[in-house]
Amino acid sequence: MSIVTRAGKAASLCINWFRDVYRNRRLILDLANKDFKSRYAASYLGIVWAFVQPVVTITIYIIVFQFGFRVTSAGDTGVPYALWLSAGIVPWLFFQEALLSSTNSLMEYSYLVKKVVFKISVLPIVKLISAVYIHLFFVGIVAVVFFSFGYPPHVYMLQAVYYSGAAMVFVLGLSYITSSLVVFFRDLTQIINILLQFGMWLTPILWHTSQFEQYMTPFIERLLKLNPMYYIVNGYRDSFINRTIKRIIKNMTLPNTLFSLSEA
């Protein structure tokens, strides 16, 4: 099959996908809202728990690294470690939550999957949007925290919209694969959980590359950059800290390529 034929097929699949999403947009939003509210419906604090858990996680990491290990700044950036960590961990928490919930979407909504007329391709999107609500809240919190530390809002922060979109596309592409496989291999969810733990430590979220400069050969650096979350996490830091758009211009096709592959 020629490259032109493959490109045409991929374009056709993407057009059909966007058409399906548009036709089912109200259903998707309704299901996402119900999913978000029902997740904590049985608890006294309700959806407050959705925001408390990530806050506690970030706070623990800040206490351990900034006050326990005395890490005052990230490498040679001069930025307080709390800010540097916050800008990097927020997209990872979104990726983690969205991937795990989207992976189980077909099984969780099995009563809808059995309906012949129901478009099951929208189910991972439902879980993704449910996770986006929390993510948008924390992006806003990060912006407020930066402002309180003397970093006023600037135009480069708008990049966070692009990187949030890139993370969403990446998660959605992966979830179409994982949600299909988990139906036949139920242990996949646990395997993904383990891989996410490794992934967090292999992504420069809690550490800066300059801390391992003696080990950071060009080969290892290229290897780390194969991780799409390396690009997205550092993109968030470009938005809030580094104030540069070079990363977008250089690498903006990666998440979309992965999404196209998963659709094919």
Write the pLDDT tens digit of every residue in 89-138: 999 999 999 999 999 998 888 887 776 677 888 899 999 999 999 899 88
Residue 188 maps to a domain: yes
d(CA 58, CA 138): 11
Per the domain annotation, does 9 fall within a domain? no
* Number of domains composing the chain: 1
Q: Which are the contacts of 43, defined by CB distance < 8 A and separation ≥ 6?
A: 49
Q: Is the pTM of this model over 0.75?
A: yes
Q: Could you give the residue ranges of the DSSP H alpha helices within the chain?
A: 3-23, 25-38, 48-62, 81-103, 105-108, 110-113, 123-148, 159-181, 188-202, 218-224, 228-237, 246-251, 254-263
- Provide Rg for the chain, Cα atoms: 19
Say if 83 falls within a structural domain: yes
The rounded distance, in Å, linking the Cα atoms of 23 and 46 is 31
pLDDT for the residue numbered 4? 62
Structure tokens at 137: 């809240």
Structural domain that includes position 159: 26-263
Q: How far apart are CA 155 and CA 239, in angstroms?
A: 9
| In-domain check, residue 4 | no
- Report if residue 79 sits inside a domain: yes
14 lies in a domain? no
Q: Is residue 2 part of a domain?
A: no
d(CA 128, CA 125): 5
pLDDT, mean of residues 194-200: 94
Using the predicted structure, report yes or no on whether residue 12 has a pLDDT greater than 60: yes
